[in-house]
Structure 1
């Protein structure tokens, strides 16, 4: 999936991946990475997104993309039919 950046010529790449739980003891969770969006831990076996070398958890991907790629909220002005 390609995600447009705020500049007209920049494009970010986004991948979704699932970590594999390769530990022998399934009762002990193994830390994989920290989420770049919320700071929560991502463990082996969790799904995550990788965006421009940032690891983002499944729970905050929408807000993270909005904050990074659409930080300015704008409204179109009212249409004026008179010239």
Structure 2
């Protein structure tokens, strides 16, 4: 039995992450298991939510 020339020929491949939506502020994809906000139908990712916070 001969081994492959490269470890990439026989390594385990993780399933590709599934995109569930896109941030309306920055345009980045939002993947399964990522935190995001749906504000009246506007999807906002975790990185952008601080752009919408108000401080006194």
Matches for 1:15-54 after TM superposition, within 5 Å: 27-54=15-42
Task: Determine the C-alpha separation between the residues in 2 that align with 1:30 and 1:54.
Answer: 20
- How far 1:62 sits from its partner (Å)? 1.5
The Cα shift of 1:28 comes to: 1.0
TM-score by length of 1: 0.44
Query: Helix, strand or coil for the counterpart of 1:32?
Result: strand
Quick check: which one's strand share is greater? 1
- Name stretches of at least 5 consecutive residues in structure 2 with no aligned partner: 1-13
Question: Which 4+ residue blocks in structure 1 deviate beyond 6 angstroms?
Answer: none
Provide the aligned length of Structure 1 versus Structure 2: 41
SS at match of 2:15: coil
Q: Write the mapping of 1:3-82 to structure 2, written as runs, cut at 5 A.
A: 27-63=15-51, 65=52
Q: How far did 1:47 drift? A: 0.5
